[in-house]
Amino acid sequence: MDYAPSNRNSASTKIVVAGGFGVGKTTFVGAVSEIDPLRTEALVTNESEGQDDISKVQQKHTTTVAMDFGRITLAENLILYLFGTPGQRRFWFMWDDLVKGAIGAVVLVDVRRLDDSFAAVDYFEAKGLPFIVALNQFDGSQEFGADDIREALAIPSHIPVIEVDARERESAKQALVRITEFALTQLTGVKASA
């Protein structure tokens, strides 16, 4: 595996993919990464009973215990390094280390479990790190508009809310393009359109 940028004149930056337990962070990083992603997954066992609420994601058999890592070249001169956070509360202490040096974050949201999204939204608001909210489209989930989700999560109007299918490379890539553009406008003080 080659983890080094192929073009010496290219810039690289870090994006964090965050969200609650089972929202699709590992899937997102795996779908879009041009390298074999690094995954730190462990089986969900009886030991996690009382720790992880898997009642709404019963098909989930593994969980990220440290991070996911991937890479994508967005343009000839722009490489993104992706760091997926663990979603369970007991691993949140790692988030501070994972976001160091990041220019922005994608907060993945499962609209069937909005309550699991508040912690990630609050975290990035408190850190002052630019982020977008990406509504992961799960089969059979009820459709909600971006304005409904914005209101339910009390997200400020300047934060982009988009739809994404974490299983599809192009969809995940468009989310990364959006957070990169948004982060750059926020970091340079240019007003971004939502």
pLDDT in tens, 71-96: 899 888 899 999 998 866 656 677 78
The pLDDT tens digits for 150-189 are: 999 999 999 999 999 999 999 999 999 999 999 999 888 7
Domain assignments of the chain as residue spans, ordered by start: 11-187
The rounded distance, in Å, linking the Cα atoms of 142 and 4 is 41
pLDDT value of position 194: 43
pTM of this structure: 0.79
Give the whole-angstrom CA distance, residue 74 versus residue 86. 24
d(CA 58, CA 55): 6
Q: Is 165 exposed, middle or buried (0-12, 13-18, 19+ CB in 10 A)?
A: buried
Q: What is the DSSP letter of 86?
A: P
77 and 9 in contact (C-beta within 8 Å)?
A: yes
Q: Nearest Cα to 192, choosing from 128, 184, 153, 155?
A: 184
Q: How far is CA 142 from CA 44, 112, 136, in A?
A: 27, 7, 11
pLDDT at 3: 46
Predicted pLDDT at 55: 52
Residue 104, beta-bridge partner list = 15
Architecture of the domain delimited by 11-187: 3-Layer(aba) Sandwich (3.40)
Q: According to the model, what pLDDT value does residue 88 have?
A: 67
Beta pairing partners, 73: 79
pLDDT at position 64, please? Answer: 52
Quote the mean pLDDT of the chain. 80
Pairing of strands 11-19, 78-84: parallel
Q: What is the DSSP string of 116-141?
A: GGHHHHHHHHHHT--EEEEEE--TTP
